[in-house]
Amino acid sequence: MNTPAEEVALEVPTAERPVPPRPVRWVGKGVAAVVVVAVAATAFHLHRSGATAVVTPPPPSVAVSTPLQRNIEGRLGFLGQFSPVNRVELRAQVGGTLTQIHFKDGDVVHKGDLLFEIDPEPYQIKLSEATAALEAANARLALATRELSRAQELQRSEAGTVENVDQKVAEQRAAQAAVDSANALVRDARFDLDRCRIVAPFTGRIGTHLVSTGNLVSGSRAGSGPTTLLATLVSLDPIYLDFDISENDYAAFQRSRDNRGGPLADAVAVSPTGDSGFSRSGTLNFIDNTLDRSSGTIHARATIPNADLALTPGGFARIRLATTAPQPALLVPDAAVLEDQTDHMVYVVGQDDVVTPRKVEVGDLRGGLRVIKSGLAPSDRIVIDGIPAVHPGAKIAPHAGVIPFSPAQGDAGAKS
């Protein structure tokens, strides 16, 4: 007979009995976890390798070229201002009422053109009075001459005295002096009458009229008294171009002038404001005799033809003087020259296509290109395009570039 405990144990259903662990299944799960970790690590490593390959860019492609070689002349450049060869203030020499103005403000007038008229009637009256006085003096002279002749006849016939003849001679001379005085008064009156008409003393451009018709103007022949300014007139062709030369440039120009000689030594090229090139030429006709101690410069002046009247006094222009005969020089694009504080440099490409900065000395612009005085050799390859993508020590992918030269392009001074 079974005990109660045994009976209870026997009554537990088979499905509810504890199931012993299965070691083989836990080992399989561990292996799977290891495999998953290994796969994740491999994927992470591959991901990092792929990211590094995207960040590293290929070498930039930039244009390179050797410097352009041209024969150019040495020259100096300055900034000048135009001024008229002749300038006059039109003032009245006689007083009176201004009755006529015969020009429009800003007109180009020619020598002898009538510009202003002052009421001539008072001066016509003076001329008439002087003319009448001259006629009276001539009549007295004629009478004195006849009386002298009769006195001389009487003296020769011993009917007259010497004293009478001397008296008639004196009267005749006084009458002649009166005639001369009357003639002078006539000329004086005619002078004043002629000055009622104010004409252009030379061809040029007149400014605005400063007095309107109907106003009373004052005049003085010698200009010592008060005079009324009516207008100003300036000549236009030719025209002066004034500029200042530094002491060093003046010394260099004098040396070149002595070496070259002839008319070319004084030839100048001019580029007025608004022109793209040096389209005009002139002649250096004046250099002052002393240097200005305050500025260290000497004043100079050139004469420029202005047949088309396009140049205006007061306007500015660039002027250049040749100092040497044409000599070989190296030219590069101005954009290829970089400024480093007070120095200038270009990027030079080596045989291994690695960029190296090179310090250079620059000059002025010629044909739109910058002159390189020193620091480069004709065989050096320099970067002329794509500079923003380049830095010192970088490796590049160079391709051949072209440096254009435009002789007609306006040139400027030295790069500062």
| Residue 66 DSSP one-character state | P
pLDDT computed for residue 27 by the predictor: 41
pLDDT computed for residue 14 by the predictor: 44
pLDDT computed for residue 37 by the predictor: 46
pLDDT computed for residue 54 by the predictor: 54
Q: Which CATH class for the 62-72+328-400 domain?
A: mainly beta
Dihedral angle over CA of 58, 63, 65, 71, nearest 10: -160
**3-state secondary structure at position 239:** strand
**Which residues, given as ranges, of the chain have pLDDT below 70?**
1-55, 223, 258-265, 407-416
Long-range contacts of 127-133 (CB under 8 A, 24+ apart): 127/186, 127/189, 127/190, 127/192, 127/193, 129/189, 130/182, 130/185, 130/186, 130/188, 130/189, 131/186, 131/189, 133/182, 133/185
Q: Which CATH class for the 120-195 domain?
A: mainly alpha
Within 10 angstroms of residue 263's Cβ, the number of other Cβ atoms is: 8
Cβ atoms of residues 236 and 135 within 8 Å:
no
Q: Any idea where the domains of the chain sit in the sequence? A: 62-72+328-400, 120-195
Q: At what angle do helices 162-194 and 121-156 cross, to 10 degrees?
A: 160
Q: What percent of the chain has pLDDT over 90?
A: 41
Cβ atoms of residues 268 and 302 within 8 Å:
yes
